[in-house]
Structure 1
Amino acid sequence: MPNSPPYKEEIIIDYEDISHQRQTQEFFKHLPEYTKQYFVSLFPIATWLHRYNLMWLVRDLIAGATVGIVIVPQSMGYAKIAELPAQYGLYTAFVGLCVYCLFATSKDISIGPTAVMSLLVGQTVTRVTSADPTITGPEIAVALSLFTGIIAMFIGLVRLGILVDFIPAPAIAGFMSGSAITITIGQMPKLFGIKGMNTQDSSYLIFGNFFKNLPNTKVDVAFGLVSLVWLYAVRYACQVLGRRYPKYSMHFFFFSIMRNGLLVIFGTLFAFLINIGKSTSPISILKTVPAGFTAMAIPTIRPSVISGIASSLPSGVIILILEHVAIAKSFGRINDYTINPDQEIIAIGFTNIWASFFGAYPSTGSFSRTAIKARSGVKTPIAGIFSALIVLLALYALTPAFYFIPDAVLAAVVIHAVADLVSGPSYVKRLAAVSLWELLIFVATVLVTFFSTVEYGIYASVAMSIVILLFRIARPRFWGLGRIPLSSVHSVVYEEDKKQQFTTTEHQNFLYVPEQHPSLGKLVESLPDGILMCRVDESFTYPNSSFISDKIITYCKARTRSGGKVLSKGDRQWNDDSTPATLAARYNLPRLHALILDFASVNRLDSSGLQAIVDAQNTLNRYSGHHVEFHFVNILHPAIRRCLIVAQFGTQPRPGNSRKEVLPVVPASRDGPQRDNEHQHADMENQVDQEDDVKEGQTDYVETVQGGISIPKDRYPFFHWSSDDAVRSALESQEIRQSLEESGEALPDEAISNSNVPASH
Structure 2
Amino acid sequence: MSSTEALDNQEGLDIEISESKYSSYRESEAAENRDDSRNELSWKVNSNRKFEQTKTEPSDASYDSIPRYEESTVTLKEYYGHSIKKSLTAKSAGNYVSSLFPIVKWLPHYNFTWCYADLVAGITVGCVLVPQSMSYAQIASLSPEYGLYSSFVGAFIYSLFATSKDVCIGPVAVMSLQTAKVIAEVLKKYPQDQTEVTGPIIATALCLLCGIVTTALGVLRLGFLVELISLNAVAGFMTGSAFSIIWGQVPALMGYNKLVNTRESTYKVVINTLKHLPDTKLDAVFGLIPLVILYVWKWWCGTYGITLANRHYQNHPKIANNLKTFYFYAQAMRNAVVIVVFTTISWSITRHKSSEDRPISILGTVPSGLNEVGVMKIPEGLLSNMSSELPASIIVLVLEHIAISKSFGRINDYKVVPDQELIAIGVTNLVGTFFHSYPATGSFSRSALKAKCNVRTPFSGLFTGGCVLLALYCLTNAFFFIPKATLSAVIIHAVSDLLTSYETTWTFWKTNPLDCVSFIITVFITVFSSIENGIYFAMCWSCAILLLKQAFPAGRFLGRVEVAEVLNPTFQNNVSTVVSLNESNKQVKTTVDVLRTSEYKFSTKWVPFDHEYSRELNRYAKICPPPPGVIVYRLSDSFTYVNCSRHYDIIFDHIKEETRRGQLVNLRKKSDRPWNDPGEWKMPTSFSTLFKFKRNSVTEDEELPVSNGGIKRRSYEKPLLKVICLDFSQVAQVDSTAIQSLVDLRKAVNKYADRQVEFHFAGIISPWIKRSLSSVSFGTTNEEYSDESIIAGHSSFHVTKFSSDDDADFTDEDSHISAPYSNYGTLCAATGTNLPFFHIDIPDFSKWDV
- 1:647-705 residue CA offsets vs partner (Å, 9 max, x unmatched): 221103553699xxxxxxxxxxxxxxxxxxxxxxxxxxxx9989x9xxxxxx9998xxx
Is 1:189 the counterpart of 2:246 in the alignment?
no
Is 1:218 the counterpart of 2:312 in the alignment?
no
Q: Distance in 2 between matches of 1:188 and 1:538?
A: 49
Alignment correspondent of 2:321:
247
CA displacement at 1:365 relative to structure 2 = 0.6
Alignment correspondent of 1:543:
642
CA displacement at 1:719 relative to structure 2 = 1.5
Aligned ranges for residues 110-149 of structure 1 at < 5 Å?
110-132=168-190, 133=192, 134=194, 135-149=197-211
Q: Distance in 1 between matches of 2:379 and 2:65?
A: 76
Letter in 2 for 1:260: N
Match 2:108 to one of 25, 47, 50:
50
Alignment correspondent of 1:328:
405
CA displacement at 1:581 relative to structure 2 = 3.5
CA displacement at 1:728 relative to structure 2 = 5.0
Letter in 2 for 1:476: P
Q: Distance in 2 between matches of 1:83 and 1:418?
A: 17
The answer to which of 275-284 and 526-535 deviates more is: 275-284
Match 1:578 to one of 669, 672, 679:
679
Alignment correspondent of 2:234:
172
Q: Distance in 2 between matches of 1:47 and 1:431?
A: 40
Alignment correspondent of 2:266:
203
Q: Distance in 2 between matches of 1:310 and 1:639?
A: 41
SS in 1 for 2:604: strand
Structure 2 CA distance for partners of 1:442 and 1:459, relative to 1, 3 Å: same
SS in 2 for 1:303: coil
- 1:167-193 residue CA offsets vs partner (Å, 9 max, x unmatched): 111111111111100101101111111
Alignment correspondent of 1:160:
222
- 1:555-606 residue CA offsets vs partner (Å, 9 max, x unmatched): 2222111113524322333332533434653322211111111111111122
The answer to which of 545-554 and 64-73 deviates more is: 545-554
Letter in 1 for 2:151: A
Question: Contact 1:12–1:713 at 8 Å: present in 2 too?
Answer: no
Question: Contact 1:632–1:719 at 8 Å: present in 2 too?
Answer: yes
CA displacement at 1:640 relative to structure 2 = 1.7
Letter in 2 for 1:179: S
Q: Distance in 1 between matches of 2:71 and 2:378?
A: 58
The answer to which of 440-449 and 19-28 deviates more is: 19-28
Structure 2 CA distance for partners of 1:106 and 1:153, relative to 1, 3 Å: same
Q: Distance in 2 between matches of 1:23 and 1:569?
A: 56
Aligned ranges for residues 95-494 of structure 1 at < 5 Å?
95-132=153-190, 133=192, 134=194, 135-194=197-256, 195-239=258-302, 240-245=304-309, 246-248=320-322, 249-279=324-354, 280-487=357-564
Alignment correspondent of 1:642:
771
Question: Contact 1:550–1:616 at 8 Å: present in 2 too?
Answer: no
Question: Contact 1:720–1:726 at 8 Å: present in 2 too?
Answer: no
Alignment correspondent of 1:515:
609
Structure 2 CA distance for partners of 1:488 and 1:626, relative to 1, 3 Å: farther
Structure 2 CA distance for partners of 1:13 and 1:264, relative to 1, 3 Å: farther
Q: Distance in 1 between matches of 2:308 and 2:761?
A: 62
Letter in 2 for 1:434: T
Question: Contact 1:12–1:712 at 8 Å: present in 2 too?
Answer: no
Question: Contact 1:297–1:358 at 8 Å: present in 2 too?
Answer: yes
The answer to which of 524-533 and 336-345 deviates more is: 524-533
Structure 2 CA distance for partners of 1:129 and 1:244, relative to 1, 3 Å: same
Is 1:602 the counterpart of 2:602 in the alignment?
no
CA displacement at 1:516 relative to structure 2 = 0.9
CA displacement at 1:244 relative to structure 2 = 4.0
Q: Distance in 2 between matches of 1:10 and 1:98?
A: 67
Letter in 2 for 1:458: I
Structure 2 CA distance for partners of 1:487 and 1:342, relative to 1, 3 Å: closer
Q: Which has the higher helix share?
A: 1
- 1:480-505 residue CA offsets vs partner (Å, 9 max, x unmatched): 1112223599xxxxxxxxxxxxxxxx
CA displacement at 1:521 relative to structure 2 = 4.5
Question: Contact 2:74–2:767 at 8 Å: present in 1 too?
Answer: no
Letter in 2 for 1:727: F
SS in 1 for 2:414: coil
Q: Distance in 1 between matches of 2:785 and 2:74?
A: 29
Q: Distance in 1 between matches of 2:363 and 2:783?
A: 82
Report percent identity of matched pairs: 41
Structure 2 CA distance for partners of 1:568 and 1:299, relative to 1, 3 Å: farther
Structure 2 CA distance for partners of 1:536 and 1:654, relative to 1, 3 Å: farther
Letter in 1 for 2:204: V
Alignment correspondent of 2:743:
614
TM-score (norm 2): 0.75
- 1:536-559 residue CA offsets vs partner (Å, 9 max, x unmatched): 211111211212222221222221
Q: Distance in 2 between matches of 1:19 and 1:711?
A: 22
Q: Distance in 2 between matches of 1:13 and 1:212?
A: 83
SS in 2 for 1:483: strand
SS in 1 for 2:607: strand
Question: Contact 1:128–1:308 at 8 Å: present in 2 too?
Answer: yes
Question: Contact 1:563–1:624 at 8 Å: present in 2 too?
Answer: yes
Match 1:721 to one of 833, 840, 845:
840
Structure 2 CA distance for partners of 1:214 and 1:8, relative to 1, 3 Å: farther
Question: Contact 1:116–1:180 at 8 Å: present in 2 too?
Answer: yes
Q: Distance in 1 between matches of 2:785 and 2:562?
A: 40
CA displacement at 1:11 relative to structure 2 = 9.7
Structure 2 CA distance for partners of 1:485 and 1:19, relative to 1, 3 Å: closer
CA displacement at 1:382 relative to structure 2 = 0.5
Q: Distance in 2 between matches of 1:654 and 1:223?
A: 89
Q: Distance in 1 between matches of 2:767 and 2:81?
A: 21
CA displacement at 1:438 relative to structure 2 = 1.6
Question: Contact 2:526–2:533 at 8 Å: present in 1 too?
Answer: yes
CA displacement at 1:457 relative to structure 2 = 1.0
Structure 2 CA distance for partners of 1:591 and 1:54, relative to 1, 3 Å: same
Question: Contact 2:71–2:831 at 8 Å: present in 1 too?
Answer: no
Unaligned 5+ runs, structure 1: 1-6, 490-505, 659-686, 693-698, 703-709, 735-761
- 1:317-361 residue CA offsets vs partner (Å, 9 max, x unmatched): 111111111111000000001111000001111111110111000
Question: Contact 2:120–2:453 at 8 Å: present in 1 too?
Answer: yes
Letter in 2 for 1:88: Y
Question: Contact 1:174–1:443 at 8 Å: present in 2 too?
Answer: yes
Letter in 2 for 1:128: V
TM-score (norm 1): 0.83
CA displacement at 1:727 relative to structure 2 = 2.1
Larger Rg: 2
Unaligned 5+ runs, structure 2: 1-62, 310-319, 567-599, 681-697, 703-713, 788-811, 818-823
- 1:278-298 residue CA offsets vs partner (Å, 9 max, x unmatched): 322111110111111224231
Q: Distance in 1 between matches of 2:69 and 2:445?
A: 54
Match 1:556 to one of 655, 662, 667:
655
CA displacement at 1:517 relative to structure 2 = 1.0
The answer to which of 235-244 and 32-41 deviates more is: 235-244
Cα root mean square deviation, aligned: 2.7
Question: Contact 1:175–1:449 at 8 Å: present in 2 too?
Answer: yes
